[in-house]
């Protein structure tokens, strides 16, 4: 097998201009990959100075893209693009199957081909396209290939192992990686942070109770307390000495931080919890495990998954197996079947060599599935593109979205016990964790469709608006899943060394809510005015806004500017002019916009990266909303989208422009490359204000108690 790089290098990007001041020094980070060639372009190449009629280019590109998007709709009315993350999903899926004793050769071989196809030229695996090698990801990928039978002497395995040793070995990996290794005796449980199951009893007012954590962390921590209590070890099928710097001392002692620091205090707390393990009353421990088991089972969704995402599902399956559930138990059987539905199968190609013959099966595991998100974005895009509001594709989409509203309480109700439900989740099945972002975008989509039953739409929208207003945090913004989930303590725990574990308000989610409320007739609602003030206070000195759920400042700015305009700010407002200045300043020479994920760690990367279709569209949405339709930046941006479009009407986008956790966990939403360019081109051509179906704040509808969705 020949390893392939997942990115190339290009010229270092220019410095970042901040708020009209001097140009900052160019980034010292590695150079950004150059933009992909246009390929089979159907129009004038991007950035060509001969472009004189961007409207004609936009019309042709828009028509082709709309046709492609319509062809992707499922007969039930929804859209869903692949959700690509990194190979830890595939590696952990194989490790789970090995732990449960259900791993088979066909699944293993197909997964290994995907893992091999993502290996970089230096032997490593990264967390996003073109990004640097990541130690934990590389270790997990290496172990997965060992499970698949790849010999440690093979060139691609030697390269990976050598890089791992040079960068700290297994001892340098994050806690979650070492938990997986401990399951097979490759790491000692005693050298991992302690997670006692008794934490499930901490009241909601007590520091570090479960509801101080974001919902994704909460769903993972509870099953991991069970795993931590049992400390299981399955016989390892092979050793991993080649991944240790010193196999004779695989677990080096780490120095503690001073006791007066937060890190030092929590390290000593962890030491106390390790001591507690030895004296914990057996009856108390059994009761805590019973309650943890009940908590896990109660939150299993109808499709067998947990929260519609892969990580809590794999840990929940391990926990329940340790608690005595056999593999034929309906809970475990449904859980394993749900994970199979997260698999995307394709055939081996010459472009992604995975070590198999052409046409060999390749299996990628999605961390999550995004049908609600993709469907509402596609609906908005198609209406912006000029599709009639009563087009059959739009009414089918509206019917499906109406049936997906969650109308039963979930964990969010702990902080808002009196608030009637009414949101939407991201996934097919996730009645426990609807989110504010999807809810806002679904309402925006429903407002644009001329439905045969407008009264039903009106009832659904009123319920959603009421729920969204009730989920506002005290500071005026909105988080994704919970209200006032802002404690700083969870991030200090030794266990939490990866990703975000809390869910504070973010500019992008708040902007989507502001846009929704303004379009739904609540522009002057006090909650909306507070949110606008909060957004204005969040603007960066250079004019951009931080993007929590998309990469990064381009995503945040592309969301906030249209929202503020819808909320009534004039295009001449100083905040909007600063945003326009920043966007024009960071536009690439080819006319597009791009931003590398390294901007989450280094602000010199803000707005800097290879031009991508989705990020170009976000910049255009902001500029169009701010009244720049006839400006040179918009003309060049439209020409770039038209000039890089493929013959089939979509665009290439290997770059990751979605965010799970800033820097740590990145997402390539495969539909982003289509829906956002369609939206931007449509608003350039038509303005795209949408059609209202009416709003209010009153009634409820019937509920299907089986899954908590509206009938």
Domains along the chain with CATH numbers? 54-81+370-484+506-691 (1.50.10.20), 83-245+256-365 (1.50.10.20)
Q: How confident is the model at residue 42 (pLDDT cuts 50, 70, 90)?
A: very low
Summarised one tens digit per residue, pLDDT across range 425-472 is 999 999 999 999 999 999 999 999 999 999 999 999 999 999 999 999
Q: Is pLDDT at 586 greater than 80 in this prediction?
A: yes
Q: How confident is the model at residue 688 (pLDDT cuts 50, 70, 90)?
A: low
Question: Are 454 and 387 a contacting pair, CB within 8 Å?
Answer: no
pTM: 0.88
437 catalytically annotated: yes
Overall average pLDDT of the 39-60 stretch: 62
Strand partners, 666: 659
Better pLDDT: 177 or 246 = 177
Range name among 212-216, 307-311, 689-693 with the lowest pLDDT average: 689-693
Better pLDDT: 652 or 53 = 652
Overall average pLDDT of the 391-407 stretch: 97
Percentage of residues in the chain having pLDDT higher than 90: 77
Give the tokens for residue 93: 């899926």
Q: Is pLDDT at 710 greater than 70 in this prediction?
A: no
Strand partners, 406: 423, 709
Overall average pLDDT of the 38-49 stretch: 42
Q: In sequence order, what DSSP letters do the residues of 597-646 get, joined into one string?
A: GGGGT-GGGTT-SS--HHHHHHHHHHHHHTT-TTSHHHHHHHHHHHHH--
pLDDT for res 47: 44
The overall average pLDDT reported for the chain is: 88
Q: How confident is the model at residue 348 (pLDDT cuts 50, 70, 90)?
A: confident
Q: How confident is the model at residue 701 (pLDDT cuts 50, 70, 90)?
A: very low
Q: How confident is the model at residue 402 (pLDDT cuts 50, 70, 90)?
A: very high
Overall average pLDDT of the 108-129 stretch: 96
Length of the chain: 711
Overall average pLDDT of the 334-355 stretch: 86
Better pLDDT: 364 or 697 = 364
Enter the DSSP assignment of 242.
Answer: G
pLDDT for res 253: 64
Summarised one tens digit per residue, pLDDT across range 589-598 is 999 999 999 9
Question: Are 361 and 113 a contacting pair, CB within 8 Å?
Answer: yes
pLDDT for res 24: 32
Residues 6+ apart with CB under 8 A from 529: none
φ and ψ at residue 336, rounded to 5 degrees: -65, -40
Overall average pLDDT of the 2-12 stretch: 33
Q: Characterize the bridge pairing of strands 658-661 and 665-669.
A: antiparallel
> Which run of H or of E encompasses 669?
strand 665-669
Q: Is pLDDT at 306 greater than 70 in this prediction?
A: yes
pLDDT for res 262: 72
Summarised one tens digit per residue, pLDDT across range 157-179 is 999 999 999 999 999 999 999 99
Catalytic annotation, pick one of 437, 438, 503, 508: 437
pLDDT for res 357: 80
């Amino acid at each position: 097998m020949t390893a392939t790089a997942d990115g190339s290098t290009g010229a270092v990007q220019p410095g970042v201009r901040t708020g009209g001041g001097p140009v900052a020094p160019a980034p010292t980070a590695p150079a950004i990959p150059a933009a992909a060639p246009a390929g089979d372009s159907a129009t004038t190449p991007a950035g060509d100075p001969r472009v004189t009629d961007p409207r004609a280019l936009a019309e042709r590109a828009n028509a082709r893209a709309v046709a492609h998007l319509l062809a992707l709709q499922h007969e039930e009315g929804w859209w869903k693009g692949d959700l690509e993350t990194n190979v830890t999903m595939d590696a952990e899926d194989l490790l789970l199957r090995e732990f449960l004793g259900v791993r088979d050769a066909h699944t293993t071989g197909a997964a290994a081909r995907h893992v091999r196809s993502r290996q970089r030229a230096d032997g490593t695996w990264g967390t996003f396209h073109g990004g640097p090698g990541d130690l934990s990801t590389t270790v997990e990928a290496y172990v997965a290939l060992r499970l698949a039978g790849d010999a440690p002497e093979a060139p691609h395995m030697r390269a990976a192992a050598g890089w791992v040793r040079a960068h700290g070995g297994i001892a340098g990996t994050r806690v979650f990686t070492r938990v997986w290794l401990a399951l097979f005796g490759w790491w000692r449980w005693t050298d991992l942070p302690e997670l006692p199951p008794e934490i499930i009893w901490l009241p909601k007012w007590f520091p570090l109770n479960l509801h101080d954590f974001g919902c994704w962390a909460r769903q993972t921590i509870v099953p991991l307390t069970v795993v931590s209590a049992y400390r299981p070890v399955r016989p390892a099928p092979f050793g991993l000495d080649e991944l240790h710097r010193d196999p004779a001392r695989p677990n080096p002692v780490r120095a503690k931080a001073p006791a007066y620091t937060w890190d030092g205090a929590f390290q000593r707390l962890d030491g106390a919890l390790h001591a507690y393990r030895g004296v914990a009353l057996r009856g108390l421990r059994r009761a805590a495990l019973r309650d943890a088991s009940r908590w896990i089972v109660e939150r299993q969704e109808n499709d067998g998954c947990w929260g519609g995402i892969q990580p809590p599902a794999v840990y929940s399956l391990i926990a329940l197996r340790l608690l005595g559930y056999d593999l034929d138990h309906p809970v475990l059987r449904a859980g394993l079947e749900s994970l199979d539905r997260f698999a995307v199968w394709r055939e081996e190609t010459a472009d992604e060599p995975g070590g198999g013959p052409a046409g060999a099966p390749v299996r990628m595991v999605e961390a999550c599935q995004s049908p609600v998100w993709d469907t509402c974005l596609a609906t908005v895009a198609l209406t912006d593109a000029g599709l009639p509001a009563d087009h059959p594709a739009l009414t089918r989409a509206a019917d499906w979205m109406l049936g997906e509203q969650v109308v039963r309480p979930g964990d969010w109700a702990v902080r808002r016990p009196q608030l009637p439900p009414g949101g939407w989740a991201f996934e097919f099945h996730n009645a426990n964790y609807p989110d504010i972002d999807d809810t806002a975008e679904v309402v925006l989509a429903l407002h644009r469709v001329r439905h045969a039953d407008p009264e039903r739409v009106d009832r659904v929208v009123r319920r959603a608006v009421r729920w969204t207003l009730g989920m506002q945090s005290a500071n005026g913004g909105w988080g994704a899943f919970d209200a006032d989930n802002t404690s700083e303590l969870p991030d200090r725990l030794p266990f939490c060394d990866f990703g975000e574990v809390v869910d504070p308000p973010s500019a992008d989610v708040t902007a989507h809510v502001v846009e929704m409320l303004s379009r739904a007739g609540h522009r002057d609602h006090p909650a909306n005015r507070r949110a606008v003030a909060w957004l204005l206070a969040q603007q960066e000195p250079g004019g951009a806004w931080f993007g929590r759920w998309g990469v990064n400042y381009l995503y945040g700015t592309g969301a906030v500017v249209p929202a503020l305009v819808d909320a009534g700010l004039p295009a001449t407002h100083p905040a909007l002019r600063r945003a326009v200045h920043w966007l024009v300043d960071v536009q690439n020479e080819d006319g597009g916009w791009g931003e590398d994920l390294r901007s989450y760690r280094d602000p010199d990367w803000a707005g800097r990266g290879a031009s991508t279709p989705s990020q170009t569209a976000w910049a255009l949405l902001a500029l169009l909303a701010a009244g720049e339709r006839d400006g040179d930046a918009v003309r060049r941006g439209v020409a770039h989208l038209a000039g890089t479009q493929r013959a089939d009407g979509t665009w290439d986008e290997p770059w990751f422009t979605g965010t799970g956790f800033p820097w740590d966990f990145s997402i390539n939403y495969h539909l982003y490359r289509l829906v956002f360019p369609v939206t931007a081109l449509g608003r350039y051509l038509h303005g795209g204000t949408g059609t209202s179906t009416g709003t209010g704040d009153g009634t409820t509808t019937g509920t299907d108690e089986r899954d908590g969705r509206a009938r």
